Chain A
Amino acid sequence: MVKDKATVVVVGGGATGVGILRDLSMRGIDALLIEKLDMVNGASSRYHGLLHSGARYAVRDQEAAKECIEENTILRRIGKSCVEAISGMFVQVEGDDPDFVDPWVKGCAESGIKTRELSKEEAWSLEPNLSRKLVRAFEVPDGAIDGFRMSWQNVQSAVRYGGRYKTYTELIKINIESGAVKSITVRDNVTKEEYDIECEILVNAAGPWAGKVAQMAGLDCSVSPSKGTLIAFNQRISNRVVNRLRKPSNGDIFVPHGSITILGTSSITIPDPEDTSTSWEEVEELMKTGEGVFEHLRDYRILRVFAGSRPLYVPKGADGGRNASRGFVTLDHEKEDGLKGMMTICGGKFTTYRLMAEKFCDVLAPKLGNTAKCRTAEEDLVPAVSEADKKAARQYFPSYGVNLAATRLGTEKFPEVVKTLKENPETREVLCECENVTMAEVMRIAQEPTSHSVADVRRRTRLGMGTCQGNYCAIRSAAIANKLFKDKLEGCGDSLSDMKNFLQARWKGITPVMAGKTLREAEMTRGMYEVLFNVNGGRR
């Protein structure tokens, strides 16, 4: 049954998909994005969050390097509240190939990336934890970026231009008539209802799942999902992004975000993009390489290990993995395969998501007779929350958390939350001290149409995602969810199960790194919930 209709349907709620949704909407094209789970659940939130300067690609892929530095500059401007405008360092340590440096410096210069060599003393004074085996260090304009938040801001921007999106809506069939896509069949993963959506053009932006989507249309699209494993540490080890100055390899990059640091990544070709498992071996490899840059790495507490899969495009006959291009490709299936009304975008990386969308839409828009120019680089993703609103918030809110909450909530929801805090003092309770999440914010996000489960609320608010690993907020989250959202959100069973599930979700990321200070945290978690609260239940 046809229940909906859009000129363009975009499949995939990652950075690529939301970038295209925003771009099309700003060009005045009627577009609808569908995502099978919650928004941004794949590689766009499961990566190290590096805003590339391009220096990493300066030797092997200067085109990618140039794109990175241009986009880096644009994203710093249009996505201020998602970017930590820090710089980066490339460091060479004893044992690294000294001959890599000159071509790298030359490559950066040719790509338009500014580098500045630092003396060892200067490097150590800027980043005191750097290895004493440091040989050379260069400063580059890297940054850190919150992929989850930036993707959501793209959606919010698109919505202002008439774009639409549906989460928990999974593509299950592509309906083709006389060589052209007519409609798609989707399943609502919450209600399990199946229905059709008519469209003129179907955009496959499913990232590592793009091969599966192409198959539904009987097409072959060579996407090789490549798993990247990352480790999050519970503090900032450095104040800048730190890269290893050598041929790109595993465990080369440290990116500080807020109060944590992410070390990544590995690159393992996997058959199934859903596979986010990690092993001791992968962790050990990352740690060993990471120790080359920060000698005392093992003395930091690991928060969790996680993995995501990159959508690497492999032209027919080439290899996947580390050697596959980080560039992207636009496939017009009308030209390539004779199927009208379907296009695929493959590969790429977060830093260049906007440019990818621009180039892709430059091909797509003319097919619809639309000649509007891309404007996504000209306008900020979201307007900034006003200083007056922030000032008002400081009366009811821990003031150090105001900026965090303002960027999470945005101009519309933030004043609403402040109003709730003002009128109802009980909602001022800080449920999560790590991320400064108040009860009022949780209540507001729970009302969003995209909030179907407690886990959805958690991702949007970051409740329980901070450095205490849920030890203090598991009980609060279970109690609040049970009181306020019972029968409204999925995942509100009984409070004990909620508490257990909440902590279990964190446990998954902890088990592969159960050593060092992580053991200490684990013994505390169990001491509290298993012994003191006996969540497994009493007189069994």
Chain B
Amino acid sequence: MSKSDVVVIGNGFAGLMSALVSADQGKKVTLLSYGAGTFPLNSGVIDVLGYDDSGKAVANPAQAVSAVADEHPYKKIGIQALEESVKFFQDVVAAEGFPYVGSLNEQQWLVTGVGTLKPSCLIPESMQGSKCFEASEIVLVGIKGLKDYYVDMVAENLAKELGNDKKYTVVTVDPHYQGARDLTTKDVAAWMDTEAGYADFVSQVKGNAGAGKVILVPQILGLKGNVVYKKIVAELGCPVVETTAMPPSVNGLRLRDVLLSALKKKGITVIEKAKAEEAVIEGSKAVAIKAGGEVRLQTYNADKFIVATGGFYSGGITMRDFGEAKEVVFGLPVECDCFEERWVNKQLFSDKKQTFAKTGVRVDATLRGVDESGNVVLENVYVVGRNLSGYDFCFEHSGNGVALASAYKAAKA
């Protein structure tokens, strides 16, 4: 069995970035992939830090990151690695022809699929919600038959955020869909990728375009990078903005495709359907991962391992019973403050962080798992993304930011 320098376990955003940064260091990388990560769920935007501990919106992510609590992964990663990781990411996607705008010094704003505003840090050009701020009229485009995008509701909520001195116009585009099932944004995006579909859409919207206006659409501007976006902005002559979307999110899939393309160019080996089942440990080091399909397990040897298997949602962290939280591949020590009085907030949408959400692997500043006395458990195993403890990515809007920065730091180590 051939041996890699680095084996990355997990193909979510943290896993793909770990692989890319490792390969950039000249390492021979194997990526074990199982499932689709959270790309279909997270709209492919890089939130670094949207809200502080008191729930107040963050204007300058870099500043706010410097002020996080000691338990927070950013404290361990450090601002320098975060800054470098942002540059690295922007270079990668730009080289693939899918540039992301934004910087650590200024928050970007997205319009969500229900019409609220959402802070984020690095976003594709097609999702710059702040273009709505200066517009005098927002033209909201709904799609007939599209499920889970209620254009009237988006208009109502957006008007609450942006004020009633703007005009809000709703236009419904008919994709002339003849099938029997409901449409998703992915279906409509595929329609927009066809010449006929694109022309049909433009003809139905064009009359509403014009100076001072912004065209707000669900996430439907094609499945491939920014091809449709560039074309339609040029053709309509005014800004076009996509919202975040109910899963499966088109932009999440675009970002995933772009990163996989970059991986391929770097010569990274991606093993599909390779669920990591077993770690081979010798002394204080991991030497191999056994992973594979239904029939038999394959052994993947490496000098270094990066754990990017995700949290509860992705199954990288499990807790079969109260207090029995586990990191599933290496059994690394998990921080889990599981007491009935504080484990779950009574309110789902709470004014404070959810304790259960902070469950993850306890690491030191090198992002290696440590026991309760702070001793590194496995010296060549690094932990990234939602596997980490000490932050509630939902409350603070920091999921892909922690993923990116921790992936960069772990890959560089």
Contact = CB atoms under 8 A, between A and B. Distances in A.
B153 A495 contact: yes
A330 to B, nearest CB: 42
Contact of A515 (B320, B346, B393, B394): B320
Contact of B157 (A496, A504, A522): A496
A530 B118 contact: no
Contacts of B51: 540
B340 interface: yes
Interface string B88-111: 000000000000000000000100
Nearest to B397: A531
A534 B348 CA distance: 13
Contact of B349 (A475, A514, A536): A536
Interface string A295-322: 0001100000000000000000000000
A539 B43 CA distance: 20
A344 B148 CA distance: 50
A519 B153 contact: no
A365 interface: no
A526 B386 CA distance: 14
Interface string A452-487: 000000000000000000001001101100110000
Nearest to B51: A540
Contacts of A534: 112, 116-118, 397
Interface in B42-97: 42-43, 47, 51, 55-57
A66 to B, nearest CB: 41
B347 interface: yes
A532 B344 contact: no
Contacts of A287: 321
A479 B370 CA distance: 47
B233 to A, nearest CB: 24
B343 interface: yes
Contact of B113 (A496, A515, A532, A538): A532
A280 interface: yes
B319 to A, nearest CB: 5
Contact of B182 (A430, A526, A528, A529): A430
B399 interface: yes
A494 to B, nearest CB: 7
B321 A532 contact: no
Which of A298, A475, A516, A519 lies at the interface centre, i.e. has the most chain B CB atoms within 10 A of its CB? A519
B116 A538 contact: yes
Contacts of A299: 320
B353 to A, nearest CB: 11
Nearest to A280: B340
B394 A504 contact: no
A524 interface: yes
Contacts of A503: 348-349
Contact of A496 (B116, B119, B318): B116
A70 interface: no
A contacts with B: majority SS: helix
B340 A279 contact: yes
Nearest to B395: A530
Contact of B319 (A479, A483, A515, A536): A515
Contacts of B289: none
A535 B116 contact: yes
Interface stretch (B241-249, B269-277, B361-369): B241-249
A110 interface: no
Given A514-B344, A534-B112, A528 B152 contact: no
B206 interface: no
Contact of A538 (B109, B249, B357): B109
Nearest to B252: A532
A537 B112 CA distance: 10
Interface string B231-260: 000000000000011110100000000000
B156 A482 contact: yes
Interface in A243-302: 279-280, 284, 287, 298-299
A159 B150 CA distance: 39
A461 B207 CA distance: 41
A514 B343 contact: yes
Which of B42, B43, B118, B156 lies at the interface centre, i.e. has the most chain A CB atoms within 10 A of its CB? B118
Contacts of A373: none
Given A279-B340, A483-B152, A532 B311 contact: no
A381 to B, nearest CB: 35
Contact of B313 (A284, A483, A495, A527): A527
A531 B116 contact: no
A479 B349 contact: no
Contact of A532 (B42, B109, B156, B347): B42
B315 interface: yes
Interface in B353-404: 354, 356-357, 393-395, 397, 399
A539 B57 contact: yes
A427 interface: no
Contacts of A530: 349, 394-395
A503 B348 CA distance: 8
Contacts of A298: 320-321
Given A298-B320, A429-B182, A476 B57 contact: no
Contacts of A478: 153
B412 interface: no
Contacts of A429: 147, 182
B136 to A, nearest CB: 20
B41 A482 contact: no
Contacts of B394: 523, 526-527, 530-531
Nearest to A473: B148
Nearest to B311: A523
Contacts of B109: 538-539
Given A279-B340, A430-B182, A528-B246, A511 B346 contact: yes
A100 interface: no
B244 A532 contact: yes
B312 interface: yes
A526 B152 CA distance: 24
A520 B315 contact: yes
B301 interface: no
A499 interface: yes
B30 to A, nearest CB: 27
B134 interface: no
A495 B156 contact: yes
A120 interface: no
A526 B112 CA distance: 14
B245 A532 contact: yes
B148 A475 contact: yes
A495 B114 contact: yes
A500 interface: yes
A479 B153 contact: yes
A161 interface: no
Interface in B143-179: 147-148, 150, 152-153, 156-157, 160-161
A520 B313 contact: yes
Given A482-B153, A523-B311, A280 B57 contact: no
Which of B112, B312, B348, B397 lies at the interface centre, i.e. has the most chain A CB atoms within 10 A of its CB? B348
Nearest to B317: A519
Q: Please name the 8 residue pairs, one residue from A and one from B, whose CB atoms are nearest each other, closest first.
A: A538-B117, A479-B150, A523-B313, A507-B348, A534-B118, A526-B394, A519-B312, A530-B394
30 contacts: A279-B340, A280-B340, A284-B322, A287-B321, A475-B113, A475-B114, A479-B150, A482-B156, A495-B153, A504-B347, A504-B349, A507-B348, A514-B343, A516-B320, A519-B318, A522-B356, A523-B311, A526-B348, A530-B349, A531-B118, A532-B42, A532-B118, A532-B246, A532-B249, A534-B112, A534-B117, A535-B116, A537-B161, A538-B161, A539-B117
Interface of B: 38, 41-43, 47, 51, 55-57, 109, 112-114, 116-119, 147-148, 150, 152-153, 156-157, 160-161, 182, 244-247, 249, 311-313, 315, 318-322, 340, 343-344, 346-349, 354, 356-357, 393-395, 397, 399
Given A495-B157, A532-B43, A533-B114, 7 more contacts: A280-B340, A429-B147, A472-B148, A482-B153, A507-B347, A524-B313, A532-B246
